[in-house]
Structure 1
Amino acid sequence: MGFVGILLLSFGLAMDSSAVSACEGLAMPKYNAKLAATIALSYGGAEGLMAFLGWLLGSQFYSLISSFDHWVVFILLSIIGGKMIWDAFHEDPADQAKASSEHFSPQEIILLSIVTSVDALAAGVSFAFIKINVPLAVAMIAIVSAGCSFGSTLIGHFISAKFGRAAEVAGGVILFLIGLYVLLHDLGVVAF
């Protein structure tokens, strides 16, 4: 996977944390740049760390499944993307409104950053089965997630909670399309 693929993957993985960051921005009665930076660093760090841990886990099993690895990548990214889309349409608006009316503590921010980065762990597992520059991918995932989270906190504070659903759907679609591309490329259907 080249630079553009890694960049698209990074944005896809950042959508969960961006959606939650937007809710955290909504919870700020007055915009707090220091808190927004803390949120961004927490989400970016968790996404990068989980992707790296996933790669370590996946590399242990590479020799066992290298003959059908493209299917593993496609299935993992499709499940993650599908779950993101499902969650976007099945969230209870009352729960979302309640979450946005409460202030997020540092413990809640850390917990949410771990929970929203589980998809990065699964994506990291797939790194062992595709040709990818792991340090670049991990760094880009962390940086893009941090940047998107910071921006989403600002947007969430100034705009509305509706952005969260659109972000989750876009992230799910991007992850599915990346998985489909890897599958079709390894099967020789597409050459680019």
Structure 2
Amino acid sequence: MSIYQLGDVVSLGFMAIALGMDAFSVSLGLGMQEVRLKRIAVVGMVIGLFHMLMPFLGIVLGQVISTQIGNMANLIGGLLLVGIGAQMIFSAFNHGTKKLVQPVGAGLFFFALSVSLDSFSVGLSLGLSEVKTVIALLLFGAASMVLTWAGMILGRKVHGLLGAYSEILGGSILCAFGLKILFG
């Protein structure tokens, strides 16, 4: 593996952590409810799966679009990352918009979908930049699963001191990567 490829993997790792921060912050609140460890394991795995599925769909769509728009791909990808990051930062200040659902059945499905929707757009921008799909998906899934577990367990202990700050950090990282693509 060359230094360039290692740099790509490290960048994808940071991006995976940034995407997982949203799941982490929401999981902090969910963890404050009385949730058993077995349920925490299931929720983390489902969210990890959705954080692989949604960017995959975005990457596929992004690759289709990139063959049609050529040189605009990097510009669009960078703008998408900046926009998603900014949305995460602004939503951290709007505490009333998040509603907790029970992480069971359809509630778990909608919870995982809502937490992973931003990863679709990130996948779209990654598809525009021709990233290594399998590595990106595995990193996104693993990071979001581990961060969900950590958030729910920490939420049981801490009672929400880090929620908004973790989402601000995640949004800042996405903005930074978007700006790197735009001006890099």
Q: TM-score if structure 2 supplies the norm length?
A: 0.90
1:89 aligns with 2:93: yes
CA-CA distance at 1:67 after TM superposition: 0.7
Aligned to 1:169: 168
Q: Report the 3-state secondary structure (helix = DSSP H, G, I; strand = E; otherwise coil) of the residue aligned with 1:60.
A: helix
Q: Determine what percentage of the aligned residue pairs are the same residue.
A: 24
3-state secondary structure, aligned to 1:128: helix
Q: Which residue of 2 aligns with 1:5?
A: 11
Q: Show the counterpart of 1:37.
A: 41
In structure 2, distance between residues paired with 1:137 and 1:162? 30
Aligned to 1:136: 135
1:79 maps onto 2:83 in alignment: yes
Shift of 1:103: 4.8
The match for 1:105 is 104
State the partner residue of 1:65: 69
- The answer to whether 1:154 aligns with 2:160 is no
Measured after TM superposition, the shift of residue 24 of structure 1 is 1.2
Aligned 8 A contact 2:74 2:182 in 1: yes
Partner of 1:190: none
Could you tell me how far apart the structure 2 residues matched to 1:165 and 1:183 are? Answer: 27
Match of 1:184 in 2: 183
Unaligned stretches of 5+ residues in structure 1: 186-192
- In 2 relative to 1, CA 120–103 (structure 1 residues): closer, same or farther, beyond 3 Å? closer
Separation in 2, partners of 1:110, 1:23:
17
Give me the whole-angstrom Cα distance separating, in 2, the residues matched to 1:162 and 1:110. 26
Query: 1:68-104: CA deviations, max 9, x gaps?
Result: 2121111111111111111100112xx76x84xx754
Q: CA deviation at 1:132?
A: 1.8
Distance in 2, Cα, partners of 1:136 & 1:103: 31
Give TM-score scaled by structure 1 length.
Answer: 0.87
Distance in 1, Cα, partners of 2:162 & 2:103: 19
**Is structure 2 residue 130 aligned with structure 1 residue 124?**
no
Q: Which position in structure 2 is the counterpart of 1:189? A: none
Moved over 6 A (4+): none
What's the offset of the Cα at 1:145? 0.4
2-structure distance, mates of 1:54, 1:175 = 16
Q: 1:43-81: per-residue Cα shift (whole Å, max 9, x none)?
A: 111011101010111111112222121211111111111
* Cα contact 1:54–1:123 (8 A) shared by 2: yes
SS state at 1:27 partner: coil
The amino acid that maps onto 1:168 is E
- Report the Cα distance in structure 1 between the residues aligned to 2:54 and 2:14, rounded to whole angstroms: 17
Question: Does the 8 Å CA contact 2:102/2:108 hold for their aligned counterparts?
Answer: no
Alpha-carbon separation, structure 2, partners of 1:103 and 1:125: 29
